[in-house]
Every structure is written in structure tokens, then in C-alpha cells.
Amino acid sequence: MDKSSNQNDSPKQERMPDRQGSVATRFTLQRTSRTGQGYIEPLLDAGSALPLHMVLIPGSTFLMGSPPDEIDRANDEVPQHTVTVPQFFMGRYPITQAQWRSVAGLPQVDRELDPEPSNFKGENCPVEQVSWDKAVEFCARLQEHTERPYRLPSEAEWEYACRTGTTTPFYFGKTLTDELANYDASVTYADGPAGEYRRETTPVDHFGIANAFGLSDMHGNVWEWCQDHWHGNYEGAPTDGSAWLTDNEDASRVLRGGSWYDYPQYCRSAYRHDNSPGYRSYNVGFRVVCSAPRILQ
């Protein structure tokens, strides 16, 4: 592991929660059915490796950001604002190591790709140690190969797809448990129970749970890169679901979702983090989206 893979930039180092040992609560876990619309991108041969399954995310309007009463709300999550997001396709899971290896074998567009960058090995574990620049190269190769408009999600698309109409800190509800996501569950959030800190990634289908759109692993496991350049709050943010960009190509990029390494408050739907486009770490990965036509066949 090289020096660029240290964890000093993780938000886990910034703030310590003060609710350890809170009373555990009961949870009713529902295995949600998979959405009926979407497609499989034929990258991999049949076998144990999961396919790149793209799920249709219907367009709608939602309230982006955290409400005033949300525990551990941060100043960069405000002001809450209404965003109208057009429909698009999103990967059911973060990009896996098998999927990464397949695309890394395609012709180069702008940058070389290491076919085996990950620290934690597993065909269906999320690829990690991937910078924003390399994630963009992955999308470019995939687009050239498939002739479909693959890209990273905008930050608004990511939060909209994660929330699926919910306004709670997590799409599961008001708290999180280690039965729902891979994060540092030795620390609690709200009235949730303490649990296992796994100290590594898990296969993307490990929990067998999805949100109402059919997406899994949106909370924890690996941070996910978005297109957007970092802004310290939402003053002046786009309201059409597009990426918020500047003229500075060296600007920090947005990361969402938290990771196996992080405390639960950093896995909230509204939580935002950032790092340089060349940053790599063993808790950072990504998932892809594909722009959808206005009218589907």
C-alpha cells in the first residue's frame, strides 16, 4: 500500500460522537423486491461475478440536504433546497473488482488503469484505491465500448437515488445497524445499537437489502465519487439535478455514502465529504450512472 492510501483524510478523524452505549432498538428488515426496469451490461462471462446491473431511477423532485433537527447535521448540508432530477440509470451496486478488471482491459481513452488496485480482494467486493480521475477513465472506456453515455453521478442524483423519497438520516430510517450496512458499528447513532466493526469491505450483495429503487450499499462499504466540484454549502447550487462544476479542474470532488471505516453519522444520506481528484484510499470506490432517454422504449 503506498503513501496515498493513508486514512488521514477520512472524516472519521474529524469528529467523535458522544452517544456510545445507547439503548438498542428492534428493527424490522424488509428485503425489497428488485425494480422491473433496467438492463444488464454484458461485460462478464457467466459465473460467480455479479453483472453490471443498471436500474432505472425515475425522475422526480426532492428536498436535498439535511433538516434542522437531524443529529450531526453539518454546515455544508444546507440550505435544504428543492431539486428536480430527470430519470437516469444507476448501478445497483458500487463497481466491483471483477467489473473494474473487465473495463480496465478495454482500450485506453486518457489514462492507464491498474486492473488490480484494491487492498481488500474479492470478485464481488467493491473496487477501491480508485481516484476520481481513474473512475472517470473507467466511465470513458465503458462508454466507448458500449456506445452508452456512462458517467459518474451528480451529487444531486446520488442523494436523490439514495433517499428514494425518504427524509430520515438513512433510507432505512432514523438510525443504522450492522445488519443493514458495513460501517464502524462500534459507535452508535441516535438510539441505534452498537455492533460489529468489520475493518474491511464486504461483497456488494452481502446484506441482500435494497432501497425502494432497488439500489444496495448506498450507506457504508466504500465512499462513492460524484462528478461535482466541492462547494462549502448549497448556496447557488443547481436545481435541475446537474453536476455543480467550476472552471478549476484541480478542485476537490464530492464523495458520498460513508464507508466500512467510518462512524454512522458519516453514512447519512445528506452527509458530504470531499477530496482531490487524484486521491486514493482503501475506503473509496464509485458507482456509475447512464443518462436515460426522456421516453423509454
For the segment 93-139, what is each residue's pLDDT rounded down to a tens digit?
A: 999 999 999 999 999 999 999 999 999 999 999 999 999 999 999 99
Tens digits of per-residue pLDDT, 137-146?
999 999 999 9
Contacts with 12 (C-beta within 8 Å, 6 or more apart), sequence order: 184, 261, 262, 263, 266
Q: What is the domain count for the chain?
A: 1
260-287 mean pLDDT = 98
> What does the alpha-carbon distance between residue 254 and residue 40 come to, in Å, rounded to a whole number?
27
The alpha carbon torsion through 206, 208, 214, 215 (nearest 10 deg) reads -20
- What is the per-residue pLDDT for 51? 95
Would residue 249 count as lying in a domain? yes
Asked whether residue 3 is assigned to any structural domain, the reply reads: no
What is the band of 29 on the pLDDT scale with cuts at 50, 70, 90? Answer: very low
pLDDT (tens digit per residue) in 259-272: 999 999 999 999 99
Supply the pLDDT for residue 1: 33
3-state secondary structure of 255: strand
Structural domain including 67 reads 39-297
The DSSP bridge partners found for residue 159 are: none
pLDDT in tens, 207-243: 999 999 999 999 999 999 999 999 999 999 999 999 9
Residue 133 to residue 156: CA distance in whole angstroms: 20
For residue 232, the domain's CATH number is 3.90.1580.10
Residue appearing with cell numbers 432514523: 174
The residue ranking higher by pLDDT, 161 or 36, is 161
pLDDT in tens, 49-66: 999 999 999 999 999 999
State pLDDT tens for residues 144-189. 999 999 999 999 999 999 999 999 999 999 999 999 999 999 999 9
pLDDT > 70 fraction of the chain, expressed in percent and rounded: 86
Structure-block grid coordinates of residue 214: 432497488
Q: Does pTM surpass 0.75?
A: yes
The rounded distance, in Å, linking the Cα atoms of 292 and 290 is 6
Mean per-residue pLDDT of the chain: 89
Q: What is the pLDDT of residue 9?
A: 55
| pLDDT at residue 46 tops 70 | no
- Give a yes or no: residue 181 inside a domain: yes
Return the SS3 of 97. Answer: helix
> What pLDDT sits at residue 44?
80
| Cα 226 to chain centroid, rounded | 8
- Residue 10 is assigned to a structural domain of this protein: no
List CB contacts of 124: < 8 A, sequence separation 6 or more.
Answer: 48, 49, 50, 96, 97, 98, 203, 204, 205
> What percent of the chain is predicted at pLDDT more than 90?
83
Does some domain include residue 2?
A: no
Per-residue pLDDT at 294:
53
In this prediction, residue 45 carries a pLDDT of: 73
- Give me the residue label for grid cell 421516453: 295
User: Is 6 within a domain?
Assistant: no
12 located within any domain: no
pLDDT band at 48; cut points 50, 70, 90:
confident
What mean pLDDT do residues 13-29 have?
A: 32
Domain membership flag for residue 21: no
Q: What angle do CA 15, 19, 25 make, to 5 degrees?
A: 135
Residue 116 identity (one-letter amino acid): E
Residue 293 scores a pLDDT above 80:
no
The answer for residues whose C-beta is within 8 angstroms of residue 112's C-beta and 6 or more apart is: none
